[in-house]
Structure 1
Amino acid sequence: MDAYSEIIQGARVWQGVLDTNVMVDDLVKAGHRLADAAKVGNWPEVMKVLDSEWSWLVINQWRPGGQAWFTVLHQAAWHGAPTDVVEELLERGALRYLRDAKGRTPFDVAVARNRTTNLRGLLQPPRSSLTDKQVRALDAQLAKLIDGRIQGRVYEGDLRKVLRYPPVEILQELPGQRVWFPMPAKYGFHIELQRGGLEVKSWCGFVEGSGQAHLVTPEGTVLVDQGFV
């Protein structure tokens, strides 16, 4: 196993590319199939798509090119899906902390739609180990770090129009509390939550020795290693 594979092993993939022009056609088609099934509450079809398109899809992605950022779990909350469906989605890795474009978690959607107490209980995010202030600060520092690494190398202009960075909140719900964020030009970011801060390893697959490791805290970012991968 090479250094690249060792770093990302076991991390959850974050599909944060918003620009469908740089996505593989099969990924776009599979994403639309999943979103279409979830939008009408066809849960057998949702599970079928997740099973058949596992090589392309991640359960927490929204419609490719869509602006609402509604995931399957958001749709389950909207429709008031049976509890066994929600339980299966959670077992498959659906995230309760993930927010849509309006800042709503699936739990928020369930409350607004006056869904059952049992459903809301399933969708309630686990207790946070971070304060809201810490989350906002870490999100800002992480965005600043990623911007500095890829601005002008992957995209020109406003990166927020083409990329959605992984929210720090979701790391609290992931096994190992880490995520792998691949993007065009073979750039990638491995992000791990550690004691109220983040360890972020990043590199470009086309450039030997481009690896950098940063320690990110709410107060700032420090380069702790470089030259690997």
Structure 2
Amino acid sequence: MEWDGLTDRGQFGASYLQERDHFADLARDADWNAVFEELGGRPGWANLPRPGIRSGFAPLHQAAWHGADFAVVSRLIAHGAWRTQRTMDGRRPVDIARERGHTRLLELLEPVEVRSLPAPADALERHFHALLRDRTGGCLERTAHLLPPLTPLTEGPDVSIVFPVVGMMGGFTCRLGQDLLHVHAHSRTDFDDGSHYRVTTTGWSGI
């Protein structure tokens, strides 16, 4: 699934921005049939907020806000929507449902940890973010990005996070291994498979 950390709407192309805004409008307006139609052709979009982040509400947050039918929420999760994803003010979908009084959704929206991050998880994420900053050649300094959290990786046996980076013509894909994080840096300019790294709670290194 894709993590869109780009905070500047001006960095998006006009046609792509229009498509993403349309997708965000459908979720905001609880037009779930249209949301699922869009996800049928764009399966990686299940966790994307409106471009430029703003509130950070992805489709599952909107479903929690509206108190969507159980079947709608289940289907979003089946499409890969992350129950651990937080809005800009730190709320998960389950937190929003609780605030709104949609108690029938709480059990379904409560994050389920299928896999555990190596402990301490904050150290693993810190070294992962250090790798991203080091390997982007200053791209993250020139164009502000929100770096991806690792908690979504706990939600399934083989979850991956794709993090596009402006200026790289590509980005990073990460997934959990045994006691470590595998990170693949890739670009359309690569003549081979790109670069591979391993991240642990004590640091990161190339493979």
TM score, norm. by length of structure 2: 0.86
Q: Which residue of 1 aligns with 2:149?
A: 167
Report the equivalent of 2:47: 60
Cα shift at 1:79 = 1.2
**Alignment deviations for residues 56-96 of structure 1 (CA, whole Å, 9 cap, x no partner):** 96111000113211111001111111111111111222111
Q: Does residue 1:147 correspond to 2:129, yes or no?
A: no
Output the aligned Cα RMSD. Answer: 2.5
Task: Indicate conservation of the 8 Å contact 2:6/2:53, yes or no.
Answer: no
Distance change (3 Å), C-alpha of 1:174 and 1:181: farther
Residue of structure 2 in register with 1:134 after alignment: 120
Change (3 A) 1:85 1:55: closer
- Alpha-carbon distance change, 47 to 209 in structure 1, aligned in 2, over 3 angstroms: closer
Residue 51 of structure 2 aligns to a residue whose secondary structure is coil
Which residue pairs with 1:36 in the alignment? Answer: 25
2:109 aligns to what? 123
C-alpha distance in 1 between matches for 2:63 and 2:203: 38
Alignment partner of 1:96 is 2:83 = yes
User: Does structure 2 retain, via aligned residues, the 8 Å contact 1:130–1:196?
Assistant: no
Identity score, percent:
31
Answer yes or no: is the 8 Å Cα contact 1:63–1:70 preserved in 2.
yes
- Is there any run of 5+ residues in structure 2 with no aligned partner, and where? none
| Deviation sequence 1:136-187 (CA, Å, 0-9, x none) | 22221111100011142x3544x5xx32222110012245232222333313
Q: Distance in 2 between matches of 1:133 and 1:70?
A: 29
Conserved in 2, the CA contact under 8 Å of 1:31 and 1:57? no
Amino acid at match of 2:145: L
1:218 matches 2:207:
no
Does the Cα contact within 8 Å between 1:16 and 1:181 map onto a contact in 2? Answer: yes
How far apart are 1:29 and its partner, in Å?
1.2
Deviation at 1:20, TM superposition (A): 2.7
Q: Does the 8 Å contact 2:49/2:59 carry over to 1?
A: yes
Cα distance in 2 for partners of 1:136, 1:196 equals 14
What residue is the counterpart of 1:177 in the other structure?
A: 159
- 1:87 touches 1:122 (CA, 8 Å); kept in 2? yes
**Distance 1:223-1:23 versus aligned 2 partners, 3 A rule:** same
Matches of 2:191 and 2:109, distance apart in 1:
43
Give TM-score, length-normalised by structure 1: 0.78
Q: Does 1:46 align with 2:35?
A: yes
Q: Which amino acid aligns with 1:145?
A: L
SS of equivalent to 2:54: coil
Which stretches in structure 1 are left out of the alignment for 5+ residues? 1-11, 225-229
Q: Which of 7, 15, 34 is the equivalent residue of 1:26?
A: 15
Q: Which moved more, 1:214-223 or 1:38-47?
A: 38-47
